[in-house]
Amino acid sequence: MIVEISHFLALLATGLFFLVGCFSFIRSGNIYISNLISRTYSHAFLLLLTSFTIYVWLAITDNFSVAYIASHSNSDLPTFYKISSIWSAHEGSMFLWILFLAAWGFLFNRSVDNEVALKPLSIGIISIVLVGFLSFLLLTSNPFETILPFGPPNGADINPVLQDPALAIHPPTLYLGYVGFVIPFACALAFLINGNTEIKWEELVRKWSVSAWIFLTLGITLGSWWAYYELGWGGYWFWDPVENVALMPWLAATAFLHSISVSVKSSNLRIWTILLSISVFSLSLFGAFIVRSGIIDSVHSFANDPQRGLYLLAFIGTIIFTSMILFVIRLPMIRSAGSIKAFSKESFISINNILFGSLVFSIMLGVTYPLVYEFLFDQKISVGAPFYNAIFIPIVVIASIFLFFSIDSKWQRTVKMKFFAGPTSFSVILAVISVVLCIYFFNTESFTIIASLFAGFLIIHRYIIEIASSIFSKKYINPFSVLAHFSLGLLIVSIAFNSMLSTERAINIKINESESYMDLNIFFKDISLVNKSNHDAIKANFRIEDSFSNSFTLSPEKRKYFTRGQITTETAIYVTPLRDIYLTIGDQLEDGSWIVNIQINYLIRWIWISAVFMSFAGLMLIFSKQRQKI
């Protein structure tokens, strides 16, 4: 009964969003119409929010007459996981995705004045997108379907791998990032439709774009971390198709944020900014399509349903196609007024846009190529790390070198590049020294690693000099840019060190035996059976000593869950600032020894920490008072 109220409210919201969409195309500029649009949108959002809240309440109170809740939640789960079970599968997560999309629109609606020229149309465009997705939800994947007269008394058993705090937070964070880009998208389209080049749409959307970018960055980072410690994958990035479709909007969004910082000032690079704002949201939609159409096999994909895929593709295709047509028609109008001077900041940012564009294009190729190949030759192939490394490493190194030279450049004017000036040559020397030291101590011969280390150190040293000169000689620096790019340097160096130094090995070891691996001495103390309420576990205890005579115990587990019979591997990780020692336990062999997999992962924490620093730079930018000066 209550679920019908929730269902009805969602339907009502869809109707109201539809009305907003219709109103917004009355181009009167009349303030009453604008007020009407704004209020109707707010009401529609509140209806949708109420509908979702009721749905959450149904999940908390174990209302298993709702088919979706019955098959994805269980009465024994803690409340926290009852809530997160809502986004553990397709229907519910789509509902959340739509709610977030509407919420960004709502916040935008509340904080922008009704008299702002582009607002009514932007809200209208957001509403049209919402109507499309709500129809998709209600027609093809309705989460409100019920099992009558009674549902199962205790619900279903949910996958233990999904019962993890990081996973409960990871999808919502990522969704907030994906759908947040609807605001720059809607405003760019509104700008194109409106056709008045005097309007500064960039200023309107900058803060929103940065916020969405922060969520996207954090969402991807959380996913990477979760796969590392819970799935037992033992790495931070796997070029899984679904990781790739999250990385594409991130790269496009990063280029977009750089581009918009130019357009805000001088209307230069407007074509880039508009094209990128459309691309970012299109790529987010493309991600939703890839994950939900079942076209790609991946750990993330939801159940396969070709009908769903076709609906989504038709709708997403219409959105993308319409916006591109609009872009092409209006292209002459948005031509930049001035030209870009060589070696100005703008010129470097356009180069950056081209490089990031190439990265997005190559990932797109990597994602689609296996599909085309399978279609043509009926054979499955996978495009993996070698392909992406071959493309990413050179482009990132080139981009880093351009970044290095861009630090001394100025807005809108050519500054003669002083290659032998103090900071430039000094940081080159420091970078060379650091790389030579690395080669000497770690004996690396891989050219890609040396190049990446050089690029990373170049950025780090250059920014350290920059920070020092701001402290000692009061030179003005842009703190957001410094923090974000310094983190990029840190990220590159951490990744290079990680791939240079990390090692792993599987060892066979019996109880009461010792093995040594690298500088570690591993002693297998004992193994015990642990009986828990919902699983049995084999828990192995290892005593490990390292070369600094630290000694610690690691206890990896193998769990077997009763109801699903699922076996999960619980890794044991010893974390230090410089390296992780990562143990997983495998099977027992016939001679009584156990297979134990040991990994030593260097600087892996710093990869995530740099990503968090980057989002922190974005956060600072949002809350800074002197936004105009940047």
Partner 1 sequence: MSFVLRVLVLIIPVSLIGLFFVLLSTENEYPGADYKIFEIPDFSLSNLNGTNKISNKDLEGDYLLNVWASWCITCMVEHPYLSKLSNNGIKIIGLNYKDDRSDALVWLNKFDNPYDLIIHDFKGTLALDLGVTGAPETFLVNNGKVVAHYQGEVNQIVWNEVFQPIINSKNLSLK
* From candidates 29, 165, 195, 306, binder to partner 1 by CB under 8 A: 306
Q: Which long-range contacts (CB under 8 A, 24 or more apart) does 540-546 make?
A: 540/585, 540/594, 540/596, 542/572, 542/583, 542/596, 544/520, 544/574, 544/581, 545/520, 545/521, 546/519, 546/520, 546/521, 546/581
Q: Check if the beta carbon of residue 83 is closer than 8 Å to that of residue 56.
A: yes
Determine, following the binding rule CB under 8 A, whether residue 372 of this chain makes contact with partner 1.
Answer: yes
Nearest to 182 by CA among 269, 112, 284: 284
Rounded CA-CA distance 81/165 in Å is 8
Rounded CA-CA distance 52/92 in Å is 10
Question: Could you say which residues in the range 261-290 bind partner 1, by CB under 8 A?
Answer: 271, 275, 282, 286, 289
Q: How far is the CB of 180 from partner 1 (least distance, A)?
A: 21
Decide whether 5 or 328 has the Cβ nearer to partner 1: 328
Decide whether 139 or 325 has the Cβ nearer to partner 1: 325
Task: Mark the segment that binds partner 1 (CB under 8 A) among 139-147, 259-267, 311-319, 433-441.
Answer: 311-319
Concatenated DSSP letters of 205-244: HHHHHHHHHHHHHHHHHHHHHHHHHTS---SS----HHHH
Rounded to whole angstroms, the maximal C-alpha distance in the chain is 84
Q: How far is the CB of 324 from partner 1 (least distance, A)?
A: 5
Concatenated DSSP letters of 262-283: HHHHHSTTHHHHHHHHHHHHHH
Decide whether 386 or 565 has the Cβ nearer to partner 1: 565
Q: Under 8 Å CB-to-CB from 334, ≥6 apart: which residues?
A: 192, 197, 270, 271, 274
Determine, following the binding rule CB under 8 A, whether residue 78 of this chain makes contact with partner 1.
Answer: no
Q: How far is the CB of 371 from partner 1 (least distance, A)?
A: 6
The first and second tokens of residue 314, run together, are: 């038709």
Determine, following the binding rule CB under 8 A, whether residue 328 of this chain makes contact with partner 1.
Answer: yes
Give the three-class secondary structure for 86. Answer: helix
Task: Mark the segment that binds partner 1 (CB under 8 A) among 314-322, 401-409, 439-447, 466-474.
Answer: 314-322
Angular region, 29: left φ>0, alpha ψ -120 to 50, beta rest:
left
Decide whether 306 or 422 has the Cβ nearer to partner 1: 306
Decide whether 256 or 286 has the Cβ nearer to partner 1: 286
* From candidates 162, 313, 464, 527, binder to partner 1 by CB under 8 A: 313
How many residues in the shown chain lie near partner 1 by CB under 8 A?
Answer: 30
Rounded CA-CA distance 166/179 in Å is 20
* From candidates 18, 327, 373, 402, binder to partner 1 by CB under 8 A: 327
Q: How far is the CB of 50 from partner 1 (least distance, A)?
A: 35
The first and second tokens of residue 198, run together, are: 């005097």
Rounded CA-CA distance 201/538 in Å is 60
Q: Under 8 Å CB-to-CB from 257, ≥6 apart: which residues?
A: 209, 210, 213
Decide whether 315 or 524 has the Cβ nearer to partner 1: 315
Q: How far is the CB of 252 from partner 1 (least distance, A)?
A: 13
Q: How far is the CB of 442 from partner 1 (least distance, A)?
A: 39
Nearest to 628 by CA among 271, 261, 375: 261
Decide whether 317 or 479 has the Cβ nearer to partner 1: 317
Q: How far is the CB of 582 from partner 1 (least distance, A)?
A: 23
Q: How far is the CB of 350 from partner 1 (least distance, A)?
A: 13
Asked if the peptide bond before residue 149 counts as cis, ω within 30 degrees of 0, the response is: yes
Instruction: Give the H or E element holding residue 575.
Output: strand 572-575
Task: Mark the segment that binds partner 1 (CB under 8 A) among 59-67, 242-250, 328-336, 401-409.
Answer: 328-336
Identity (one letter) of the amino acid at 547? S
Determine, following the binding rule CB under 8 A, whether residue 365 of this chain makes contact with partner 1.
Answer: no
Helix then strand then coil, in percent of the chain rounded to 5, is: 65, 10, 25
Q: Check if the beta carbon of residue 211 is closer than 8 Å to that of residue 182.
A: no
Task: Mark the segment that binds partner 1 (CB under 8 A) among 40-48, 368-376, 451-459, 571-579.
Answer: 368-376
Determine, following the binding rule CB under 8 A, whether residue 321 of this chain makes contact with partner 1.
Answer: yes
Determine, following the binding rule CB under 8 A, whether residue 309 of this chain makes contact with partner 1.
Answer: yes
Identity (one letter) of the amino acid at 574? Y
Decide whether 113 or 587 has the Cβ nearer to partner 1: 587
* From candidates 31, 310, 436, 468, binder to partner 1 by CB under 8 A: 310
Determine, following the binding rule CB under 8 A, whether residue 381 of this chain makes contact with partner 1.
Answer: no
Taking CA atoms, 44 is separated from 12, 106, 317, in Å, by: 8, 9, 25
Q: How far is the CB of 195 from partner 1 (least distance, A)?
A: 17
Decide whether 269 or 431 has the Cβ nearer to partner 1: 269
* From candidates 336, 566, 569, 593, binder to partner 1 by CB under 8 A: 566
Beta bridge partners of 585: 596
Length of the chain: 630
* From candidates 320, 395, 573, 619, binder to partner 1 by CB under 8 A: 320
Task: Mark the segment that binds partner 1 (CB under 8 A) among 104-112, 162-170, 214-222, 558-566.
Answer: 558-566
Contact map string, positions 488 to 527, toward partner 1, x by CB under 8 A: ----------------------------------------
Taking CA atoms, 288 is separated from 88, 92, 174, 575, in Å, by: 15, 14, 11, 35
Decide whether 198 or 587 has the Cβ nearer to partner 1: 587
Task: Mark the segment that binds partner 1 (CB under 8 A) among 88-96, 231-239, 325-333, 532-540.
Answer: 325-333
Rounded CA-CA distance 448/454 in Å is 10
Task: Mark the segment that binds partner 1 (CB under 8 A) among 90-98, 207-215, 308-316, 512-520.
Answer: 308-316
Determine, following the binding rule CB under 8 A, whether residue 371 of this chain makes contact with partner 1.
Answer: yes
Rounded CA-CA distance 611/482 in Å is 14
Determine, following the binding rule CB under 8 A, whether residue 592 of this chain makes contact with partner 1.
Answer: no
Rounded CA-CA distance 532/551 in Å is 28
Determine, following the binding rule CB under 8 A, whether residue 303 of this chain makes contact with partner 1.
Answer: no
CA 349, 350, 351 angle in degrees (round to 5)?
Answer: 90
Sign for the CA dihedral angle at 267, 269, 270, 276 comes to negative
Determine, following the binding rule CB under 8 A, whether residue 317 of this chain makes contact with partner 1.
Answer: yes
Decide whether 478 or 563 has the Cβ nearer to partner 1: 563
Q: Under 8 Å CB-to-CB from 623, ≥6 apart: which residues?
A: none
Residues engaged in binding partner 1 (CB under 8 A): 271, 275, 282, 286, 289, 293, 295, 306, 309-310, 313, 316-317, 320-321, 324-325, 327-328, 331-332, 364, 368, 371-372, 375, 564-567
